[in-house]
């Protein structure tokens, strides 16, 4: 069975991208959900910390005073980046029906940028734990003294910016997204990256991400073939397993090591 993405009635998109639902990973259901959930989680995380100054001393101070809020903000933001990877894979597959070279390079650059942001999220997590284990002053000094310490991902920061430009151009030229939505997607190039970066005016690019990809995700889901009975069973199994694992992790902390 072939999944064929039809043109949107509310945009100038005309390109039809046939995708085989059985062989094309991640497929329209995973891809569509990721295109919706990923941007919305990133936006929610950014909004939760918008009241605090974006630089790291103020972010650490915010964690000391509002640990649950900041933990939720950074967790949702990083989770959104991971989930978005599957949506980008689907978008790249659609673009690839127009031009495989553009799709491949745009996908490589954007995904590398998202992985780099995930690495930064690990640094952020460790910095916040220093506030708990030591204190705010020592945590701030540790981050300040090691802010530009070597790590291989630092040299991939350029991909975070270049990737969004490439995929925005490819999305428009392939007629996957309208010009307006492609420009909105390209606004992600402005979003700050690095250690303990909070929300500032440049984060408006996240709104562009939502404008571009969330409607596209809903469009994909509306036109996706119905889930098979087997697929629904596997979804239910994974949900049940996770619901079991969460309380077990609380009872047996070794599972979270």
In order, the DSSP letters of 91-133 are: HHHHHHTT-HHHHHHHHHHHHHHHHHHHHHHHHHHHHHHHHHH
Spatial contact of 76 and 45, defined as CB atoms under 8 Å apart: yes
* Closest residue by Cα to residue 218 from 89, 56, 33, 60: 33
Q: Are residues 154 and 234 in the same domain?
A: no
Q: Are residues 253 and 195 in the same domain?
A: no
Residue with tokens 């954007």: 110
Q: Are residues 209 and 247 in the same domain?
A: no
Q: What is the pLDDT of residue 2?
A: 55
Q: Are residues 217 and 232 in the same domain?
A: no
Asked whether residue 16 is domain-assigned, the answer is no
Q: What is the pLDDT of residue 15?
A: 53
Q: What is the pLDDT of residue 16?
A: 44
Q: Are residues 123 and 141 in the same domain?
A: yes
Asked whether residue 58 is domain-assigned, the answer is yes
Q: Are residues 176 and 257 in the same domain?
A: no
Dihedral angle, C-alpha 41, 144, 154, 170, nearest 10 °:
40
Q: Are residues 253 and 138 in the same domain?
A: no
Asked whether residue 8 is domain-assigned, the answer is no
- Residues 37 and 47: their CA atoms lie apart, in Å, by 15
Q: What is the pLDDT of residue 193?
A: 85
Q: Are residues 191 and 257 in the same domain?
A: no
Residue with tokens 């309208």: 178
Residues of the chain with pLDDT under 70: 1-23
- Give 41-62 pLDDT, tens digit per residue: 999 999 999 999 989 999 999 9
When divided into structural domains, the chain yields a total of: 2
User: How many angstroms separate the Cα of 195 from the Cα of each of 111, 146, 152, 177, 209?
Assistant: 19, 10, 14, 32, 21
- Give 103-150 pLDDT, tens digit per residue: 999 999 999 999 999 999 999 999 999 999 999 999 999 999 888 888
Q: Are residues 79 and 173 in the same domain?
A: yes
Asked whether residue 52 is domain-assigned, the answer is yes
Asked whether residue 76 is domain-assigned, the answer is yes
Q: Are residues 210 and 240 in the same domain?
A: no
What backbone torsions phi and psi does residue 20 show, to the nearest 5 degrees? -80, 120
Dihedral angle, C-alpha 184, 3, 5, 100, nearest 10 °:
60
Asked whether residue 19 is domain-assigned, the answer is no
Q: Are residues 61 and 39 in the same domain?
A: yes
Asked whether residue 18 is domain-assigned, the answer is no
Q: Are residues 215 and 246 in the same domain?
A: no
Asked whether residue 61 is domain-assigned, the answer is yes
* Closest residue by Cα to residue 223 from 26, 31, 24: 31
The C-alpha angle 44, 154, 143, rounded to 5 degrees, equals 70
Domain enclosing residue 247, as ranges = 226-257
């Amino acid at each position: 069975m072939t999944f064929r993405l039809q043109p949107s009635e509310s945009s100038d998109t005309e390109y039809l991208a046939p995708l085989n639902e059985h062989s094309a990973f991640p497929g329209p259901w995973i891809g569509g959900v990721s295109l919706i959930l990923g941007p919305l989680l990133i936006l929610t995380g950014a909004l939760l910390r918008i009241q605090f100054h974006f630089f790291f001393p103020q972010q650490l101070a915010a964690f000391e005073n509002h640990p649950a809020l900041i933990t939720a903000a950074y967790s949702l933001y990083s989770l959104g980046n991971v989930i978005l990877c599957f949506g980008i894979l689907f978008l790249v597959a659609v673009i690839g029906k127009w031009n495989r070279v553009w799709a491949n390079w745009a996908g490589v650059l954007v995904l590398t940028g998202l992985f780099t942001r995930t690495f930064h999220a690990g640094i952020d997590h460790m910095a916040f734990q220093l506030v708990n284990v030591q204190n705010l002053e020592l945590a701030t000094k540790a981050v300040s003294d090691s802010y530009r310490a070597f790590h291989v991902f630092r040299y991939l920061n350029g991909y975070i910016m270049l990737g969004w430009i490439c995929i925005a151009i490819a999305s428009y030229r392939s007629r996957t997204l309208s010009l307006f939505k492609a420009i909105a997607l390209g606004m992600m190039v402005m979003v700050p990256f690095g250690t303990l970066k909070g929300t500032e005016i440049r984060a408006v690019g996240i709104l562009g991400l939502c404008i571009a990809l969330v409607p596209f995700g809903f469009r994909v889901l509306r036109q996706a073939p119905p889930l098979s009975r087997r697929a629904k069973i596997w979804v239910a199994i994974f949900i049940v397993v996770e619901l079991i694992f969460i309380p077990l992790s609380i009872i047996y902390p070794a599972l979270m090591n």
